[in-house]
Chain A
C-alpha cells in the first residue's frame, strides 16, 4: 500500500522559512516523479512543484518560483520542499503526491501538513 506522510508544517512569520518533508513507503520511490500540491483553507487545489525520479529536473508554479525548492533523497524515500520568503498567501495544506507516470496526474496523495504564515 502506497503511503505518503508529510511533516514540518507550522506557524511561521511572513518572510520566514520552513522545510516540509514527505516520507514515502509502499512504492519504488526512485522510479516516480513526485509533486507538491497545496490547498488554501476552503479553496481549490494549486500545483506547486514537480521533481523527476533522479532529481535532475524540477518544475515550479509561477507563484512559488524563486522562493521554493523541491528536492528528494531516494536513499531515504523522502521528498522535501524548502520554502523561503513566505507570504500570507502561502498559507495552505501542502500535500505530497505521486505522479502516475511523467504526466502530472496525481494518483496517490498524502494527508498533508498545514503551513500558516501569519504575524
Chain B
C-alpha cells in the first residue's frame, strides 16, 4: 500500500497568513493526488484534484503543486472559514489512502 505522510500535523496561523502543508507519498503517484477540507461535524470537501486542479467553486486562494512523491497545498491568504483539517489522498492505485490530516488552527 502507498503510505501518505502529511506535515505538519498541526499548524497555527493567523488570518491573512500564507500557509503550506506538505504531503509525501511512499512511492511515486505521478499527479494522482487530491486535497480535502473537513470542518468539525461536517463531511470532507474536495478542493484540489490531480495535484493542482482546483475543484469548481473553490476559491482561488487554495492551490496545490507537486508530482511524484512530494506535494504541497497552499492557502495564499487565510480566511476565518479556512480553519479546518486538511487531508491529502492518493488515487494512483488501490487501496486509495489518505494522509493523517493537518489541523489548521487559529494562532
Contacts and interface: CB of A to CB of B under 8 A. Distances in A.
B78 to A, nearest CB: 22
Bin the interface of chain B by size: 20 to 34
Given A45-B87, A45-B89, A105-B34, A62 B95 contact: yes
A95 B87 CA distance: 16
Interface string A83-117: 00000000000010000100111110111100000
Contacts of A46: 98
Q: Is the interface of B mostly helix, strand, loop or mixed?
A: loop
Contacts of A109: 43-45
Nearest to A62: B95
B101 A44 contact: yes
Nearest to B97: A47
Contacts of A66: none
A40 B31 CA distance: 28
Contacts of B44: 45, 106, 109
Interface residues on A, range: 20 to 34
A35 to B, nearest CB: 8
12 contacts: A44-B98, A44-B101, A45-B44, A47-B97, A50-B96, A100-B46, A103-B49, A103-B91, A104-B94, A106-B36, A106-B89, A109-B43
Q: Which 8 A/B pairs are nearest by Cβ-Cβ distance?
A: A109-B43, A104-B91, A47-B96, A104-B96, A45-B98, A61-B95, A44-B101, A105-B49
